[in-house]
Amino acid sequence: MRLGGLHGALAIAAVILGIVLAFQYRVTSDVQINVPIQQTQELSAEVDQLKRDRDAFQAKATGLREQLDKATTGLGGEALKGELELARIVAGVTDVTGPGIEVTLNDSNLNLRPGDNPNLYVLHDEDVLRVLNELKAAGAEAIAFNGQRLLATTEVRCTGPTVVLNKSKRLAPPYIITAIGNPDTLEGALKMRGGVAETLQFWGIQITVKKLSQVTVPAYTGGIKFEYARPAG
């Protein structure tokens, strides 16, 4: 019964959080004004109303979180609270900290030789993806890319000399990847003979790996929208 109640509470919290993020995303990303001057006041009023709605939903979400915390203080409450925290970590909506590594990537510092393809001396999305995949395969539990939390739906793709992340974040080198996990294992996965670090260094791509006793991976703060996926059952 407690687990069923938790699932219901999580579903309600997820709906409210989704609405909050959708309003915030609309206010900060979708309202790009290129209209006649006479409509400015109307649009300004709409933006103000959206902000008030967003604040109201944020307040409601905060209230729901407080109710969930109170609901988990009784018998078995610590176990339920632990499950809730785990769900937040998996969803990427809470800051996490722990041991791990910091990887810094930058374009090649070698001089281009006659006849060489210049694209081989700059970082591409495929280079970043190789690093990220190695970290995931080595057991990384949370990853951030230039301070942006990676989710299951996060894309990494080239747009000219930059990389686009989480639909809208355009990032340029140097790239800093922080990952939480076993520092020795994560470092070894990147530095193995013939591995991703050695391949990148062959072309002069700059890559440094630093083991840390504690790193922090921030929560994802952008909008989350699922148009087709629905809970099964």
Mean pLDDT calculated for residue range 37-46: 69
Whole-angstrom CA distances from 68 to 54, 72, 196 are 21, 6, 44
Mean pLDDT calculated for residue range 25-47: 60
Whole-angstrom CA distances from 134 to 67, 167, 177, 186 are 40, 23, 12, 8
User: Rounded to an integer, what distance in angstroms lies between the CA atom of residue 122 and that of residue 159?
Assistant: 13
H-helix or E-strand spanning residue 106: strand 96-106
Which tens digits make up the pLDDT trace of 153-164?
Answer: 888 887 777 788
Q: Tell me which CATH homologous superfamily contains domain 96-217.
A: Protein of unknown function DUF881 (3.30.70.1880)
Residues 6+ apart with CB under 8 A from 5: 71
Which tens digits make up the pLDDT trace of 92-150?
Answer: 778 999 999 999 999 888 877 887 787 788 888 899 999 999 999 999 999 999 998 98
pTM, two decimal places: 0.64
Does residue 35 register a pLDDT over 60? no
Residues 175 and 104: beta-carbon distance below 8 Å: yes
Task: Return the pLDDT at 24.
Answer: 57
User: Rounded to an integer, what distance in angstroms lies between the CA atom of residue 42 and that of residue 31?
Assistant: 13
Q: What residues pair up with 151 in beta bridges, in sequence order?
A: none
Coil, strand or helix at 228: coil
Whole-angstrom CA distances from 59 to 20, 64, 65, 66, 103 are 10, 9, 10, 11, 37
Does residue 29 register a pLDDT over 60? no
Task: Return the pLDDT at 23.
Answer: 56
